[in-house]
Chain A
């Protein structure tokens, strides 16, 4: 059926024309595939120390292509695990924030009036909570758990999405097809689910794509402060933190994870920009 996915197909065509975005998507896919497959195929693991091979540079220690860390663990493998954790945190936390943000924002925007005012003031209040002390308190209370980081980041990053979605909903509400649906008898939750949310998908995909790198960076920041994942597990942030302490003697320990972190963030940003051009109806 030629027209089945007409809108999406057109968007994809527009996206394909943007070389940087296509390159970003390909690089991102390569990194994801690598961090999924390499830990399965590699003879090494990320946690067993090898005291005979401490802090070797790249290519200097037999099978360790990117060298080893101060405990003799394969750096490539640790970076791959770091990518796994960082991407998982980024995607999961963004999903959480999209879910909360879209339902919160669409409801506030569509219902309007006092409900809207109340819901958006709640968002304002959460905005004003200082985030770093908040996470520190959480980790002190519950320990350094991975799920906690998902939750903490997701709980805060939905605020932006809620605001964007509310604004978009307000303008959708003025569109004639919403009035047409009201005349057709559509009300309340059905209106939001059938007419508002589907028309928000484009903008939500864009902002979710742009939210992922923000979350990854934030997780890296927390890990850098020592609030992130627990060793021997590592995220890109904690690897960079470890690398920093060795950067005079073994710069590869800093450079390799930092390059991966930068590459992932760049890719998501380019992809998000490309998606914005491809999906945002205002530029059509």
Chain B
């Protein structure tokens, strides 16, 4: 199995390299393989979008990078950040990376913020813990940070409690907290899903602005292909714990090579195009993660299915430079659009 887009010996080696990562855990209903055999790199300063439905393993993938998987989860493979193997770090060493070199923004800021602590204390905590900054210096830095995520009246906000802020403001505070230690990589799990449409647009443009200004690489996980199209440089499409396709964003949308990507893209109605009589749609439902089919997990719903698909899971292979897909079907796609009409 070859490596991701950048070779392992490249001079500008990507800061985060994930190889053959698997995350699984036991539940009442059997063993769940949430993440299966994933290879992916995060290059310096890139905006990587990971798209998938619920149960695709996209959140589990993010959590595993920061060592936040459920306690009984079993992890296999490798997650390398610079020279460190994150899967083998003890919790003290992991804490040096977490929140400091790699940080995270969650979907629901209300659950990620402590409701009983003022915003200011929570933002400055990272600096005081990781940098031993003085209270005064930390506070000044926090105010600067709040201003840089466009929170008006930052000084007053520092003294407020999370419930006194609106949803969009809370998410800005979370982003300020995540960025205050100037991490090299920012992980964001559905950061705009709980917000109103107009506020989502604000948060997305904030991410782009911050990436351009600070050079922080951003990994944004979402279920919404529209969000990906707005902001990402490169996209990985996940389904049932695996990466199905991975490509630069324009390439992926212009020439999807995996039937699942094609179906996702075409099943979304658009506001900028006349409405079709029917939406092309994917039949069936995503598989039960506790009893995945032996071959390709998408095969039971795939209109290009061949006998081999049910027997052998296709590996993720480079189809054209930078464009990777995990599919046995090598012919042209496009069957779905014809079928819907």
Binding site for B on A (CB under 8 A): 10, 13-14
Contacts of B28 in A (CB 8 A): 10, 13-14
Which residues of B270-287 have CB atoms within 8 Å of chain A's CB atoms? none
3 A-B pairs with the lowest CB-CB distances in the bound complex, closest first:
A13-B28, A10-B28, A14-B28
Render B16-51 as a binary contact track against A, CB cut-off 8 A, 1 for contact: 000000000000100000000000000000000000
Within the assembled complex, what's the spacing in Å between the Cα atoms of A284 and B322? 43
In this complex, how many residues of chain B approach chain A with their Cβ under 8 Å: the count is 1
Contacts of A10 in B (CB 8 A): 28
Which residue of chain B has the shortest Cβ distance to A13 in the bound complex? B28
Which residue of chain B has the shortest Cβ distance to A17 in the bound complex? B28
Give the dominant DSSP class at B's interface.
Answer: loop
Binding site for A on B (CB under 8 A): 28
Which residue of chain B has the shortest Cβ distance to A284 in the bound complex? B28
Give me 3 A-to-B residue pairs in the complex whose CB atoms sit less than 8 angstroms apart, sorted by A's number. Answer: A10-B28, A13-B28, A14-B28
Q: How far is the CB of A58 from chain B (nearest CB, A)?
A: 46
Within the assembled complex, what's the spacing in Å between the Cα atoms of A10 and B28? 9
Q: How far is the CB of B119 from chain A (nearest CB, A)?
A: 30
Q: How far is the CB of A236 from chain B (nearest CB, A)?
A: 39
Contacts of A13 in B (CB 8 A): 28
Q: How far is the CB of A169 from chain B (nearest CB, A)?
A: 27
Q: How far is the CB of A7 from chain B (nearest CB, A)?
A: 13
Within the assembled complex, what's the spacing in Å between the Cα atoms of A13 and B29? 11
Within the assembled complex, what's the spacing in Å between the Cα atoms of A14 and B28? 9
Within the assembled complex, what's the spacing in Å between the Cα atoms of A33 and B182? 69
Which residue of chain A has the shortest Cβ distance to B29 in the bound complex? A10
Within the assembled complex, what's the spacing in Å between the Cα atoms of A14 and B27? 12
Within the assembled complex, what's the spacing in Å between the Cα atoms of A13 and B28? 9
Q: How far is the CB of B29 from chain A (nearest CB, A)?
A: 10
Within the assembled complex, what's the spacing in Å between the Cα atoms of A177 and B28? 26
Within the assembled complex, what's the spacing in Å between the Cα atoms of A22 and B208? 57
Contacts of A14 in B (CB 8 A): 28
Within the assembled complex, what's the spacing in Å between the Cα atoms of A10 and B27? 13
Which residue of chain B has the shortest Cβ distance to A10 in the bound complex? B28
Within the assembled complex, what's the spacing in Å between the Cα atoms of A215 and B28? 36
Q: How far is the CB of B137 from chain A (nearest CB, A)?
A: 44
Q: How far is the CB of B142 from chain A (nearest CB, A)?
A: 37
Within the assembled complex, what's the spacing in Å between the Cα atoms of A13 and B30? 14
Within the assembled complex, what's the spacing in Å between the Cα atoms of A264 and B28? 31
Q: How far is the CB of B70 from chain A (nearest CB, A)?
A: 16
Within the assembled complex, what's the spacing in Å between the Cα atoms of A97 and B47? 62
Within the assembled complex, what's the spacing in Å between the Cα atoms of A51 and B172? 87
Within the assembled complex, what's the spacing in Å between the Cα atoms of A134 and B250? 82
Q: How far is the CB of A11 from chain B (nearest CB, A)?
A: 11
Q: How far is the CB of A35 from chain B (nearest CB, A)?
A: 36
Q: How far is the CB of A6 from chain B (nearest CB, A)?
A: 13
Within the assembled complex, what's the spacing in Å between the Cα atoms of A53 and B28? 58
Q: How far is the CB of B30 from chain A (nearest CB, A)?
A: 13
Q: How far is the CB of B76 from chain A (nearest CB, A)?
A: 27
Q: How far is the CB of A265 from chain B (nearest CB, A)?
A: 31
Q: How far is the CB of A161 from chain B (nearest CB, A)?
A: 30
Within the assembled complex, what's the spacing in Å between the Cα atoms of A122 and B28? 44
Within the assembled complex, what's the spacing in Å between the Cα atoms of A134 and B203? 66
